[in-house]
Structure 1
Amino acid sequence: MRAIVIPVTGGPEVLEWREVPDPRPGRGEVLIEVAASAVNRADVMQRQGRYDPPPGEPPYPGLECSGVVAEVGENVEQFRVGDRVCALLGGGGYAERVTVPWEQVMPVPDGVSLVEAAGLPEAVCTVWSNVFMLGRLRRSETLLVHGGASGIGTMAVQLAKAFGSRVVATAGRADKLERLRELGADEVINYREEDFAEKVRADVILDIVGAKYLSRNLQALRTGGRLIVIGLQGGVKAEIDLRTLLAKRAAVYGTTLRSRPADEKGAIVRGVVGSVWPLVAAGAVRPVVYAEVPMAEAAEAHRMLDSGEHVGKILLVR
């Protein structure tokens, strides 16, 4: 088969579409003929040499895909050859075929095309596991989403609104702020012009920035609030004022998804299929697709992501 490989680390130009060994499904695994994948920030970090795949995962980038089941391994009864599926991956989505534990595979939800479905697994599973499972966001509470125009951000806005919460989202351009309003955000903040910590009091904050926002995130939390850090685009080290944390009886969580074992990912996937797929089928939640790029031209898709111009997901299509 062919896949995008990273022979040396560097800019988008290092990505190459090459022939590589065919994968075969092991016990408890599904082989997917890939229709599409999607570009995530983790793929860029892997390209730069800053985020290696977990042990045992394919070396090729790509944390999600959609496609058709081509083969099933031993002890897999939940899926059959020909099923239309999408999957949460530890790597390997930028390829013609990929194997994945069956626990991480989901049926394509009704009303979504096979290609569009590639933009769902990573964003939906990230939001579900962090905002709802860990952050316990409740109806009528307020969610603050940083990086609202990203794939994760656009999904967080939609899901929180669908579950009856108030949503505030940050972005750095007027057109992105307007798109977030269209997706349901109750309030939008231009982080280049306004200080979110002066304007918002949130019960849950989903943060991709990290160190740069830590003190202001704590300021923006309500009593009993939950800060969930899932990215480090603004640095890795910062001081925390424990007096603020104690006074607000707040919690700070740091999480990743890629390195979790299959059973943990499976629990997240089951929650998504049971609680989110009906919303997708009803049209209350949709994948926001910015562009579709041929998979062999993954370098161009990475340039799009690096530019920061996109809103939603950039898909790689076979």
Structure 2
Amino acid sequence: MKAVFFAAKGGPEVIEVRELPDPRPARGEVLVRVRAAGVNRADLLQRRGLYPPPAGLREEVPGLELAGEVAAVGEGVTALKPGDRVMAIAGGEAQAELAVAHERMLVKVPPSLTFDEAGAAMEAFVTSHDALVTLGGLRSGWTVLLHAVGSGVATAALQLAKAAGATVIGTSRTADKLERARALGLDHGILLGKDEPRFADEVRRLTGGEGAPVVVDFVGAAYAAENVAALAQGGRIVVVGTLGGNKAAIDLSLLMRRRGEVIGTVLRPRPLEEKIRATRLFAKDVLPLLAQGKVKPIVDAALPMARAREAHERLEKNDSFGKLVLTF
């Protein structure tokens, strides 16, 4: 098979396409003929040697999600058969013509989704559902503060929050991304300055002084103090990413007075059973919305595997809106 391959640790120039041995499914596993695989910021970190995959997976082959057709099934697999259209999150090695996944990690692709869309769906929607609902406890009528609103996960979180009956306040450093997010249901957009971001006062103004019960943050340290200031009584800050740094100073007395919680989360290193649980919750709550067209994966561009370097360069420049996908 052909696969995206990191020949060394470094910039996009280390990306190659190489021939590798075909994987084989073990008991309970499924071999997938990959048609599309999303590109995520974790791939950029892995390329630089900063985010290794779980044990047993090649560090040189990236990929956290895939969509394709079942090519073969291992012993004991009964829920899927060759030819089924499937999608899944993965610990790694998804950006290849063939990939292996545990039977219970796979979800059937709704007929309404193309492979390109399905390849962009799982990481974004599983992560956002986990952050908003499982960890954030989102309820209808609440306000959600969503940072980096043009990112792949944030475009999914925005749609899920709206589908749940929430009001969404989004932030971005790019006016165009705020405008495009409004087409997905964004209620209020806050354009942030390039240097020192300030948004808490505006969030409190928009919420009548109450603040946001749920904050989903992909930026981290740079936004931490403002997140606490923007939080509602009893609210939760769910930290999904640290693009703006991982060490922050916050006012703990304010967090205490707000009776707030700061919850950190990461999906990839979780034990298999926890990832299966997140996948099953996605299948129950989100898959019907995708099938009905009430939410949709936002694909900025679908590029052939040979253009993987370009996909990494575009993601590093932060030019994309939604997800970049590689096709195989």
Which category describes the TM-score, using the shorter chain as reference length?
A: over 0.9
DSSP 3-state at the match of 2:183 = helix
Q: What does residue 230 of structure 1 align with? A: 240
Q: What does residue 18 of structure 1 align with? A: 18
Asked if the contact 1:103/1:265 (under 8 Å) is kept, the reply is no
Q: What does residue 287 of structure 2 align with? A: 277
Asked if the contact 1:36/1:317 (under 8 Å) is kept, the reply is yes
Q: What does residue 190 of structure 1 align with? A: 191
What's the CA shift string for 1:78-124, capped at 9, x where partnerless?
21111000111000111000001112111102311122100000000
What amino acid is the match of 1:214? A
Q: What does residue 265 of structure 1 align with? A: 275
Matched, 1:68 2:69: yes
- Of residues 301, 309, 315, the one that matches 1:291 is 301
Q: What does residue 120 of structure 2 align with? A: 119
TM-score, normalised with respect to structure 2: 0.95
Asked if the contact 1:3/1:17 (under 8 Å) is kept, the reply is yes
Q: What does residue 85 of structure 1 align with? A: 86
Q: What does residue 199 of structure 1 align with? A: 202
Which structure 2 residues correspond to residues 50-61 of structure 1 after superposition, within 5 A? Answer: 50-59=50-59, 60-61=61-62
What amino acid is the match of 1:77? T
Asked if the contact 1:103/1:263 (under 8 Å) is kept, the reply is no
Distance 2:290 2:265 in 1: 25
DSSP 3-state at the match of 2:171 = strand
Structure 1 residue 178: deviation in Å? Answer: 0.6
Q: What does residue 163 of structure 1 align with? A: 164
Asked if the contact 1:58/1:90 (under 8 Å) is kept, the reply is no
Distance 2:282 2:98 in 1: 24
Q: What does residue 208 of structure 2 align with? A: none
Structure 1 residue 58: deviation in Å? Answer: 3.8
Asked if the contact 1:103/1:262 (under 8 Å) is kept, the reply is no
Q: What does residue 131 of structure 1 align with? A: 132
Structure 1 residue 239: deviation in Å? Answer: 2.1
What amino acid is the match of 1:271? L
What amino acid is the match of 2:214? V
Q: RMSD value over aligned CA atoms?
A: 1.1
What's the CA shift string for 1:108-158, capped at 9, x where partnerless?
023111221000000000011111111111000011111110000100110
Structure 1: gaps spanning 5 or more residues: none
Q: What does residue 263 of structure 2 align with? A: 253
Which structure 2 residues correspond to residues 140-179 of structure 1 after superposition, within 5 A? Answer: 140-179=141-180
Distance 2:41 2:176 in 1: 21
Distance 1:39 1:114 in 2: 14
Distance 1:274 1:11 in 2: 39
Structure 1 residue 240: deviation in Å? Answer: 2.8
Structure 1 residue 40: deviation in Å? Answer: 0.3
Matched, 1:3 2:3: yes
Distance 1:20 1:237 in 2: 39
Query: Percent identity among equivalent residues?
Result: 47
Distance 1:191 1:240 in 2: 19
Structure 1 residue 286: deviation in Å? Answer: 0.5
Q: What does residue 224 of structure 2 align with? A: 214
DSSP 3-state at the match of 2:50 = coil
Distance 1:47 1:245 in 2: 36
Aligned residues: 318
What amino acid is the match of 1:11? G
What's the CA shift string for 1:254-306, capped at 9, x where partnerless?
11000112211111111111111111122110111111111121001111111
What amino acid is the match of 2:166? S
Structure 1 residue 191: deviation in Å? Answer: 1.3
Distance 1:173 1:235 in 2: 20
- Of residues 306, 311, 317, the one that matches 1:301 is 311
- Of residues 281, 303, 326, the one that matches 1:316 is 326
DSSP 3-state at the match of 1:285 = coil
Structure 2: gaps spanning 5 or more residues: 204-210
DSSP 3-state at the match of 2:178 = helix
What amino acid is the match of 1:51? Y
Seen in structure 2, the aligned counterparts of structure 1 residues 29 and 58 have a Cα distance that, compared at 3 Å, is farther
Q: What does residue 107 of structure 2 align with? A: 106
